[in-house]
Amino acid sequence: MRVENTFHINASPDHVWSIMSGVADWSSWTKSITSVKVIDAGPFAVGTTAEVRQPGMPAATWTVTELAPGESFTWQARNPGLISTGVHSVRAAANGGTDATLVFEQSGALAGLMSLLFGRKCRRFVQMEADGLKWRSETP
């Protein structure tokens, strides 16, 4: 299963990045997240882990696997038979503002089953995150 959403935000890439990479605050701007507890002290970096709770889903521990500061980060939650990957990126839009992209992907032996059971919810959650990020970034 792969869900991808690219959308425009009327705010600078630096501003959008500061919100996007501030994962501990996500529950304040998207209803797809109940809470995020960053487990590691220190700056947001490769290896940072966080416990993410979402409505109607079990808690998951996500680990940052790639980071291009100011541009993108990738994190993964690994379970037996399933790897969930989230990619979050920003880039300056040609006409001003920011183009943001959110990707959620699952792979592994259980990915097909998870797509059948939770595909619709995952698509809805990605859209909720996009809507919330746009709202939070554009709100003074």
Mean pLDDT of 59-69: 98
Tens digit of each residue's pLDDT (9 = 90 or more) over 69-88? 999 999 999 999 999 999 99
DSSP state of 26: G
Please state, in angstroms and rounded to a whole number, the distance separating the CA atoms of residues 91 and 99.
5
Q: Is the pTM of this model over 0.75?
A: yes
- 77, 54 in Cβ contact below 8 A? no
Tens digit of each residue's pLDDT (9 = 90 or more) over 104-125? 999 999 999 999 999 999 999 9
Domains of the chain, start order: 2-138 (3.30.530.20)
* Contacts with 100 (C-beta within 8 Å, 6 or more apart), sequence order: 6, 7, 8, 9, 16, 20, 88, 89, 90, 130, 133, 134
Please state, in angstroms and rounded to a whole number, the distance separating the CA atoms of residues 136 and 9.
10
